[in-house]
Amino acid sequence: MKLKTVSLLTAGLFALAACGGKTESSVPAEAASAPSASAPAPVAPSGLVEGQNYTVLDNPIAQQQADKVEVLEFFGYFCPHCAHLEPVLSQHVKTFKDDTYLRSEHVVWDEAMKPLARLSAAVDMAGQRAAADHLIFDTVVHRKIEWENSDVLKKWLDEQTEFDGKKVLAAFESPESAKRADEMEKLVMAHQIASTPTVIVGGKYVVKFSDWESGMNTIDLLVDKVREEQKAAKK
């Protein structure tokens, strides 16, 4: 199984690791919510501070809806930290204003990841992401399904009843899911997305997480920033 090596999102400020590289991170999910016993919990900035709670992309990513504010998440179903973020972000999305939306793109770092990227595309195509994502994360991260094998994924989908597995399976088997997986790979390569989760607001502002909850606050502040920039650009 080819997974991705650890890449620290907070460069030593916090024990929250991302998935990246060639092997799965050895950092447990609990590290995403608890500081070490020997160090005090870091204090997140109350406002936006470039370099502390966000960075700026050198090569911005075009939004799918240019007239709105996009919150783009690069994730991997194989990534335990993405699994930990999923319930927090999915709840937070419910607080977004009408001009703000979440876009999810599965990373593709090698050919073995194509089946999961197709699965992510299929979940979107079938309108089942809200119902299916937590089950997919559990199956891939904790139950260690052989996710590189498309036949294994198809068999698993056909057995699902907590979401419309057959509808997702039909989408998975369609040429469109393969096309979307190829597009995800091109996007990841073009913008050198090297770790997961990576959350980008407005196509250019990358959230730096010290913990998930303060990260949600940073997302909100960046959404406000992008919204004001868009208003100014129209004047």
Domain boundaries in the chain? Answer: 49-107+193-235, 109-191
User: Lowest mean pLDDT: which of 7-11, 44-48, 49-53?
Assistant: 7-11
49-107+193-235 and 109-191 share one fold: yes
User: Lowest mean pLDDT: which of 38-47, 102-111, 127-136, 213-222?
Assistant: 38-47
CB 113 within 8 A of CB 150: no
Q: pLDDT tens, 101-122?
A: 999 999 999 999 999 999 999 9
What is the percentage of the chain residues whose pLDDT exceeds 90? 79
C-alpha–C-alpha distance, residues 175 and 165, integer Å: 18
Predicted confidence band of residue 50 (pLDDT cuts 50, 70, 90): very high
Predicted confidence band of residue 87 (pLDDT cuts 50, 70, 90): very high
- How would you class 94 by CB atoms within 10 Å of its CB: exposed for 0-12, middle for 13-18, buried for 19 or more? exposed
C-alpha–C-alpha distance, residues 133 and 211, integer Å: 21
Q: Cα angle at 143 between 139 and 146, to 5 degrees?
A: 80
CB 88 within 8 A of CB 213: yes
C-alpha–C-alpha distance, residues 65 and 195, integer Å: 24
| pTM summary value | 0.83
Kindly give the interhelix angle for 80-92 and 212-234, rounded to the nearest 10 degrees. Answer: 60
Q: Report the CATH number of the 49-107+193-235 domain.
A: 3.40.30.10
For domain 109-191, give the CATH superfamily: Glutaredoxin (3.40.30.10)
Predicted confidence band of residue 46 (pLDDT cuts 50, 70, 90): low
Question: Residue 24 has what pLDDT?
Answer: 34
C-alpha–C-alpha distance, residues 140 and 146, integer Å: 8
Query: Could you tell me which residues are beta bridge partners of residue 71?
Result: 102, 201
- At 84, the amino acid letter reads H
Question: Residue 10 has what pLDDT?
Answer: 30
